Amino acid sequence: MSTSTAALMDGTALARRTVEETAARAAEVTRRTGVTPCLATVLVGEDPASVTYVKMKRNRCAQAGIRSQHVELPATTTTEELVAAITALSLDPEVHGILLQHPVGPHIDERAAFEAIAPEKDVDGVTMASFAAMGFGLPGFVSCTPGGIMRLLDAYDVELSGKRAVVVGRSAILGKPAGLLLLGRDATVTYCHSRTRDLSSVVREADVLVAAVGRPNFIKGEDIKPGAVVVDAGYNPGNVGDVDFASAAERASLITPVPGGVGPMTIAVLLAQTVEGAERQLGL
Ligand SMILES: Nc1nc2c(c(=O)[nH]1)N[C@@H](CN(C=O)c1ccc(C(=O)N[C@@H](CCC(=O)O)C(=O)O)cc1)CN2
């Protein structure tokens, strides 16, 4: 029997509220300009998880009164072809935001493809310009999952200043930006990765733990500091997170579930940033 003491950080509920607010903002953009905010989604290949995520994003757009335009490219697409397709969207005045679903095939230079997204349309926060702005604490679009994590922490009044934050994972669109956003809020941040020695001892120091490693149930409850805030940003097959929820919930004070935690916030932030992009591009 579980002796869970942790309270849940409910990403589904917060995402619902965020999407409702975004829908109201989108309606206002349409009312004032006659233009409906538009997100272009780009999917290369048919990876089932990616197909599902893009579908979820387009469905949420429809719910929020955001138009979406979908570009589907075969798995054989070259870097040059992908860059050309994204450049066309960057130049299209009817498109306010561009999402290239990650990952693309290993033969594609994903960085070059991301960099073809015009900075003002980078509502997924994946370009170097967006990353740099975030690193300097300047206005701009943040990578959606880290942005969603920060909104969750704020919604649950988690104090970050002076706290030890440990980020397990260092990917360009998740671990690295999550650490920078926490640093920007005066947390003392440690990154862990595959070469980290004695990972358990580092994780045990975390007041705030962000698990973004992409390995199912990788973090066990025995390594959670009693009272820690645990954010599970894992999205492994079968909707399994990176944290062993049952054992972690026995020690944490607050914890995100998978599903229903960080995932829905990723999409909510994408929609919010799409409308923000449209507002800026339309001069509102
Ligand atoms: N260009 C990008 N690519 C990817 C990103 C991203 O932010 N930008 N993130 C991930 C995956 N991802 C979105 O693309 C994503 C993963 C999971 C969820 C989600 O809501 N999951 C649900 C459960 C899923 C379900 O109900 O079937 C949950 O956790 O409750 C949303 C988005 C990779 N690529």
pLDDT in tens, 232-276: 999 999 999 999 999 999 999 999 999 999 999 999 999 999 999
Q: What pLDDT was estimated at residue 5?
A: 87
What the block records as the tokens of 28 is: 């206002």
pLDDT digits (tens, 9 = 90+) for 205-215: 999 999 999 99
Those residues of the chain that have pLDDT short of 70 are 1-4
How many angstroms separate the Cα of 59 from the Cα of each of 28, 54, 99, 121, 243? 20, 9, 14, 20, 28
Q: Is the C-beta atom of 264 inside 6 A of ligand 1?
A: yes
124 tagged catalytic = yes
- Does 266 sit in the ligand 1 pocket, CB within 6 Å? yes
With a 6 Å cutoff on the Cβ, whether 273 touches ligand 1 is no
Can you give the pLDDT at residue 4?
A: 65
Pocket test for ligand 1, best of 56, 68, 269 (most atoms within 8 A of CB): 56
ipTM for the complex shown: 0.98
Is 101 considered catalytic here? yes
- What is the rounded radius of gyration, in angstroms, for the C-alpha atoms of the chain? 19
Check: CB of residue 231 under 8 Å from CB of residue 211: yes
Q: How far is the CA of 95 from the centre of ligand 1 (A)?
A: 22
Nearest to 188 by CA among 171, 205, 213: 205
C-alpha distance from residue 101 to each of 23, 72, 156 (Å): 23, 10, 29
Domains of the chain are: 33-123 (3.40.50.10860), 144-262 (3.40.50.720)
DSSP H stretches of helix in 35-188: 48-63, 79-91, 110-115, 128-135, 144-155, 175-184
Place of tokens 């926490």: 182
Question: Average pLDDT of the chain?
Answer: 97
Of the candidates 124, 207, 223, 244, the residue annotated as catalytic is: 124
